[in-house]
Amino acid sequence: MNTTTVVDRFLEYVKFDTQSDELTNLTPSTPGQMIFAQHLEKELRAMNLSDIHLDDNGYLMARLPSNSQKQLPTVGFIAHLDTSPDMSGHNVNPRIVKNYNGGDIALNAEQNIILSPTDFPELNHYKGQDLIVTDGNTLLGADDKAGVAEIITAIAYLQQHPEIEHGDIAIAFNPDEEIGQGAHHFDVNRFGADWAYTMDGGEIGELEFENFNAAVAKVTFNGRNVHPGYAYHKMINSIRIANQFVIMLPRWETPEHTEGYEGFYHLVAFEGSVEKTVLTYIIRDHDRNIFNRRKKELEHLARKINTEFPGVCEIEIKDQYYNMREKIEPVMHIIDIAQEAMRDSGVEPKVVPIRGGTDGAQLSFKGLPCPNIFAGGLNFHGRYEFVPIQSMEKAVEVIVNIARRVAKA
């Protein structure tokens, strides 16, 4: 029997450097993701799973065949291979803090890098538990190697316990979620699930089937440079005009002033000279109608600028993804099953909207309803990331109990 634990797997997986990179225009965007996928492929083959397939884009799929005499739906579980480009994932050096006592955790004493409940009060929820933390120099990679470890551990558990009835279970590990491209080359037909769950949420109990509608806007201002001593009625300073555009947007509708279901405009890049300035915005809202109005508002402001400075402003808006809720509502039984499985595991579900995106949103619009379940990690994308071991163990239980629940339905 395979007795490897979810912790064993996780500590092994985080050693792989799998940061994604949106600038390479490749899939996977970095070679480390394919190296990790090849490692996982060998592991799945050693487990004697069926229909194992790793494609040239780094999408790894496999299947645990049904052990039931009944015709049961196929349920899927998905996690992503990459870690965020926001911080290094090279030479991750995890450490286990056993029986956390509630105080400060020195991640790196020499550099005075402290994980403190003063700054991160959610730590107080995990007193008495065992936490996996970083050494302060890298992110941890619980997003989403915790999800990968949980899925494989749950499959191994079901293999070891054939008395647990289950249908076909499809699993997949995909690249480039962190740069918004995780679902781009996902072959839904090959995956063959009736629905799936991404194991990519945060703290224990999270269950998400709503996310932002999302778009990106590129606003370009074309100026005219003239010697400033002779610029009267000649110079067009694109930087100044771009600043005028920025302050025309409502100052309170930004990420730092919004929460829950509130949407926002977020200026993520500002590059400029007198001759040319480019603003990049992301637009987010849970409500599709308000989302569309936000896009129209940006176009309206561009027209206002062009009224004062004819032909200076150009705007290009591209939709990125939509709120999966509209695809999940017709099949809400898959949410009910997840909630029941959590309660079977002694976990109280916390149904919350995602203030961001998820591969599951794009997959839902590709015909695979795919809500998101907690993987257990917190403080993603930085040196203060940590994951409670007990949360990962509960996530494994939830996967097993979903398989059990589907067989009973």
DSSP-based three-state secondary structure for 150 = helix
178 contacts 35 by C-beta, under 8 angstroms = no
What is the sign, positive or negative, of the torsion defined by CA atoms of 346, 352, 357, 361? positive
Q: Which of 17, 43, 82, 144 is catalytic?
A: 82
Give the chain's end-to-end CA distance (angstroms, integer): 29
* Bond into 121 cis (ω within 30): no
**How many other β-carbons are positioned within 10 Å of the β-carbon of residue 230?**
8
Identify whether 56 is a catalytic site residue.
Answer: no
- What is the sign, positive or negative, of the torsion defined by CA atoms of 332, 395, 45, 55? positive
DSSP output for 212-267: -EEEEEEEEEE-B---GGG-TTT-B-HHHHHHHHHHHS-TTSSGGG--TT--EEEE
Contact 242, 373 (CB under 8 A): no
**Beta partners for 171?**
62, 77
The one catalytic residue in 143, 150, 177, 385 is 177
Where would I find the H helices in 254-346? 288-308, 325-328, 333-344
- Pairwise CA distance, residues 3 & 156, whole Å: 8
Q: Is 168 a catalytic residue?
A: no
By annotation, the residues acting in catalysis are 82, 177
